[in-house]
A and B are shown apart, each in its own frame.
Chain A
């Protein structure tokens, strides 16, 4: 697996707050990685470090380059949407296309136009005249038309309604993603991108608490809805998370044999959202 991002011991402090404390992870080529964490966990700081937008300590290579000293070269192969409202309000749609075409040699204007044709966005409109959903569509059209190796998305669907959110991820998956491309996305709406991800990276209080492929998660974690009589026996197997749902106890186990657990209740694969909550509350 070729590493697209290789981070070792990333540290970053804003005044007294430690945004990143010894963060290490690897992102492989052709993966869709969800960087997931509660507010203030350090997600945005990690992304900013990757994009060369902030200074930090530690070792970080993105596409083999150091974002601190080689940002300009890096940006030829990296695209990002760091804020849903980042497009300047005075910009016209036609100007946005012209600008990106003028500065990016790997921008395919025809592709962006093709994408925009499917929307209600008009070329003469200014960004300020578009709805929030349309602004995101425009931004996505610009980004999707860039032939980049790494796409970084920070809460790309924040504040959008369900239809736009669904459409956003569908477009991303169907029209952009392929084996040569890697996507790193942060969101707090985990359930929405659950089926999209190939890997997850949970981060909390500036530390990575879980780094795994989605495939490996299924083999490692198991969720047990315990039969009331078996609660004590189940607890003896040391679940790392436990909660009560409609009067029944639900536990999540890490690396426990399913044969043993099966006799204690109903087993199922925990969703990423369940695992996320479990991991965050277990810390």
Chain B
């Protein structure tokens, strides 16, 4: 890619963040909220942890630490999912609605480049940006928590485990990469809908699949479409044997139940996700949807 093209692509990407401010504002709002939560009870932490001796067990502490790292990222990915859905169904529709497409099309930018930039923002940049933001929030939140615990009289609550931190972040990162690849056809089809549908895109993308599923059930008595949607929603996680890994790593400790992290990591196999042919077929479908969206944007003439 030569320089003017790279510059053009960067400009197209920046334009998406100018127009759809929720792409960056929503994750930042989550950060602010989480950091406020970290300070929620003013001053130093002063919890008497002597009653719960099992929490002080190093293995348990590591698990709690890892779970906290994971838990802190959950709001990010929920918000991201919401923001991305609205972004993708809107990004090729809004420009037609406000007729600004006539301005964008007066510049030497191909429809392919425009669609590619939107897909890049939705499928790669925002998820990766969210990961980085969540990682920093994990660090900051933990730091605040530890400072407060140390300042108070609860040194037992001070927790840091570099290995556990790296392990959980690596696992979450791999999970994110798998999600991006697995859900790419869903994202690209939302983009296609925003290029295709005349109005009420949200209604179309929710109602049409629903009606098709119901229609298929009533007319043919089958559920292929439902199964397909279901499979595309969580099929890849089944191929990772996450459930089995979780169950297999549960161990009884006294009266309680804990998860053994080393055992869990041993049992999670990421490779099957990448060797799953459906993952790659999905990517081909995603590419086809993106191509169709660009084609429609190029040749659509609303008169």
- Interface size of A as a range: 20 to 34
Within 8 A of A (CB), among B18-52: 18-19
Q: Smallest CB–CB gap between A45 and chain B, Å?
A: 9
CA distance A55 to B300 in the complex (A): 9
Asked if B288 lies at the interface with its beta carbon under 8 angstroms from chain A, I say no
Cβ-based interface call for A91 (8 A): yes
User: Which residue on A lies nearest to B11, using beta carbons?
Assistant: A102
Residue of B14, B19, B298 near A90 (CB, 8 A) is: B19
Q: Say yes or no for B10: interface residue by CB 8 A criterion.
A: yes
Contact partners of B299 in chain A: CB under 8 A: 55
**A54-B301, A55-B301, A87-B100 known; A75-B15 Cβ under 8 A:** no
- Asked if B108 and A104 make an inter-chain contact with CB atoms under 8 angstroms apart, the answer reads yes
List B contacts of A53 (CB < 8 A): 102, 105, 301
Which residues on the B side are within 8 Å of A101 (C-beta)? Answer: 11
How many angstroms between the C-alpha atoms of A55 and B299 in the bound complex? Answer: 7
**Nearest chain-B residue to A87 (Cβ)?**
B103
Nearest Cβ in chain B — how far from A129, in angstroms?
A: 15
Within 8 A of B (CB), among A80-109: 80-83, 85-92, 95, 98-105
Q: A55-B299, A85-B99, A86-B103 are in contact. Are A91 and B18 (CB under 8 A)?
A: yes
Query: Interface readout for A37-64 with B: 1 if CB under 8 Å, 0 if not?
Result: 0000000000010010111000000000
Kindly identify which residue among A71, A79, A99, A143 contacts B11, using a CB–CB cutoff of 8 Å. Answer: A99
A72 interface residue per 8 A CB criterion:
yes
- The contact of A103 among B11, B98, B298, by CB within 8 Å, is B11
Q: Is the CB of A82 within 8 A of B303?
A: no
- Residues 46-76 of B, flagged 1 when their CB comes within 8 A of A and 0 if not, give 0000000000000000000000000000000
Whether B4 sits at the interface, judged by CB under 8 Å, is yes
In the complex with contacts A54-B301, A102-B10, A72-B102 CB distance below 8 A: no
Q: Does B110 touch A at the CB level, under 8 Å?
A: yes
A85-B99 Cα distance, complex, nearest whole Å? 8
Q: Is B78's beta carbon under 8 Å from chain A?
A: no
Judge whether A14 is part of the interface by a CB distance below 8 angstroms: yes
Chain B residues, CB < 8 A from A139: 103
Contact B301 A103 (CB under 8 A): no
Q: How many whole Å from A1's CB to the nearest CB in chain B?
A: 26
**Nearest CB in chain B to that of A45: its residue:** B303
User: Within 8 Å of chain A (Cβ to Cβ): is B162?
Assistant: no
User: How long is the Cα–Cα vector from A139 to B10 in the complex, in angstroms?
Assistant: 22
A102 and B103 contact, Cβ closer than 8 Å, known pairs A88-B19, A95-B18: no
| Residues in chain B near residue A88, CB distance under 8 A | 19, 95, 98, 100, 103
Task: Give complex CA distance A3, B230 in Å.
Answer: 59
Chain B residues in 8 Å Cβ range of A105: 4
Instruction: Write the residues of chain B forming the contact surface with A, with a CB cutoff of 8 angstroms.
Output: 4, 7-8, 10-12, 14-15, 18-19, 95, 98-103, 105-110, 298-299, 301, 303
Give A contacts to B, CB under 8 Å: 14, 48, 51, 53-55, 71-72, 75-76, 79-83, 85-92, 95, 98-105, 139, 143
**Given pairs A82-B106, A83-B99, A103-B109, 16 additional interface contacts (CB within 8 A):** A51-B106, A53-B105, A55-B299, A71-B298, A86-B101, A86-B102, A88-B98, A88-B100, A91-B100, A92-B18, A98-B11, A98-B14, A101-B11, A103-B8, A103-B108, A105-B4
6 cross-chain pairs, A with B, having the tightest CB-CB distances, nearest first: A102-B11, A88-B100, A75-B108, A86-B102, A86-B103, A82-B102
